[in-house]
Amino acid sequence: MKPAKLREMSMEELRAEELTLSDELFRLRFRKATGQLEKFSKIDSVRKDIARVKTILSEKMREGHGRA
């Protein structure tokens, strides 16, 4: 996911996206543990997307666009 697209989202949308990505990461790790995951790189890309969302959230918090 592109950072520019994330910056257009509201705080609530970013939090929802973070939950969605965290759930997806859990499912990918579960599939890896059971031997059903073919593309292990998908785990890395989801982790990076979560990091991007968290970074944008913290930027918006510092700017005063939301509260914790």
Q: Give me the CATH number covering residue 58.
A: 1.10.287.310
pLDDT tens track for 39-61 = 999 999 999 999 999 999 999 99
Q: How many domains does the chain have?
A: 1
Measured CA to CA, the distance from residue 45 to residue 52 in angstroms comes to 10
Residue type for position 36: Q
Residue 9 counted as domain residue: yes
Q: pTM surpassing 0.85?
A: yes
Q: Determine the structural domain holding residue 47 and report its residue range.
A: 3-63
Measured CA to CA, the distance from residue 54 to residue 51 in angstroms comes to 5
How does residue 66 score in pLDDT terms, banded at 50, 70 and 90?
low
Residue 44 counted as domain residue: yes
Residue 56 counted as domain residue: yes
Cα torsion 8, 11, 17, 19 to 10°: value is 170
Residue 68 counted as domain residue: no
pLDDT tens track for 17-45 = 999 999 999 999 999 999 999 999 999 99
